[in-house]
Structure 1
Amino acid sequence: MTGRRVGRPLDASMGLLNDIANRALEPDYALAAARTRAHPASTRRRAGRTATAMLVAVLLGATIMVAVLQLRQPTGTGESPRELLAREIAERTGEATELAATRDRLTAEISAIQEEALSTDQSFLARLAETEIWSGASPVSGPGLVLVLEDGPDAVEDDDPEARVQDVDLQVVTNALWAAGAEAIAVNGHRLTSLSAIRSASQAVLVDLAPVLPPYRVEAIGDVRAMQTSFARSSAANHLTFLTGTYGITVSTSSETELRLPGAPSAALQYAGPVTGVASSDASEEKGSS
């Protein structure tokens, strides 16, 4: 019996390539895919757990963001820090004004009592009144010169400190007015004396520790024409011209027939006395020569 022999397939020697082409996935991957098709409920559960985790993460992030925003905002529904500071400044300013009024009233009472006590000695009383005028303790009035200094435009627009009127500028002006023959000077109503100081604290200008704001009004009582002539020839005039041309600081000058300047606040009396128990230099020289 002659049987027919089945021939080998032509691609029998290409089994490995056929496996790679027809079954690219590993058997384990194919088994996992078959399980997923056989049990779709497990896939839904896995998707549900993923969605729940994402939702929890979103809620947690939102909670953290809300907490951060609440910490950055002022607590409560009260005033903002700026409003609180403005109110405190207004209150302190009112208290300072009341204290200044009380000081002026007590000064007037002391002056009245002093005049009554010294009424018997008119010459001494006249000498005391003259001394108070020169020391700045009593109010004065008379013709004078007024200079008004205003910050430049860049001081507001660009917050340029160089465009602001500084303490040194007021020092230059007041010293030049004293040298020009001024008998009494006040800056924004603050009377200057031989013990007065014009200083700065940050961007604020202080006159005897009292803050003054622009425009700065400098009033000087004295011979108007003589002061104008002497001031125009001083270095202070050149200084103001430089400020105007460089920083835009405006300076206006006017003469007044009647200025009224207040008296300076009462200051502690200062005096000097001889030192006891110490020989003078003359006595020491006499002892040395003998």
Structure 2
Amino acid sequence: MSSPADRDREQAGEQQERISQGLIAYLSGHAMDEDYGWITRNQPATGGRGARVAATVTLAAFGLLVLTAATQTSRSAVTVADERTQLIEQITARRQSLDSRIDTARRLTEQNQVLTRAAGTTASAALLARVERLALLTGQSAAHGRGVTVVADDAANADSDRERVLDKDLQRLVNALWEAGAEAISINGQRLTNLSPIRQAGTAINVNFIPLRPPYRLLVLGDPDRLPSRFAATTDGAAWFDLEREVGLRLSITKATRLSLPAAGEQTLRYAQPATQKQGGAS
């Protein structure tokens, strides 16, 4: 027979075995459930992480697109600015080229005129000189040069026509100056030609149909050293000196180194005949 102590030890071993067998059974029965439960509990968390990852990827892609668009826009702006700068430079260069060509054309025109005058033959030069001379004598061109200034005026305190300069007195004065060698004459700004009338009009004298009043200032182109003496040697000049002594008309002649006479007004051609070439080729 076993002793009581042995029986107690056997009972304790059996109880421990039961406890061990129960723990093993519990673990075997609940292990899978707990695994599924853990998976179930962690499923939402796993899903949230995926959404965050997807959102991050989407934002990254969007940022990349924005960066790409900004880069392209910046490059486009730089390209437009470069093209504008190039266009301005081209316009400036072409404008400078045009100004240079205009200056060249003007310079060449002036040179051509100089060369044309220089290349003229003796005959053409003589013809040109004759034309200029005729224009001067007929009053068709303005005249400049040396000469004398002649002033004719009424007698002091004149109270009768005889003491005043009349149209016939002015005509005598002009004729004497032409005879003395005058090349051009103007009276109070009116250029004289071979067709200029000098007529009395009341107390005034019409020259070129313009009424003039004393004093009558005549600008006369010619040799200032010879004109006064030659004037005095003419019949009409001597008559003027007589008027000075007899009725007190006043006359002065002054040398001038520079005179400017205007051109006469436009004249109407009254008669012309074409030149014909004579036999043998002479004109």
Normalising by the residue count of structure 2, what TM-score does the alignment of the two structures yield? Answer: 0.50
Which is richer in helix? 2
Normalising by the residue count of structure 1, what TM-score does the alignment of the two structures yield? Answer: 0.49
Greater C-alpha radius of gyration: 2
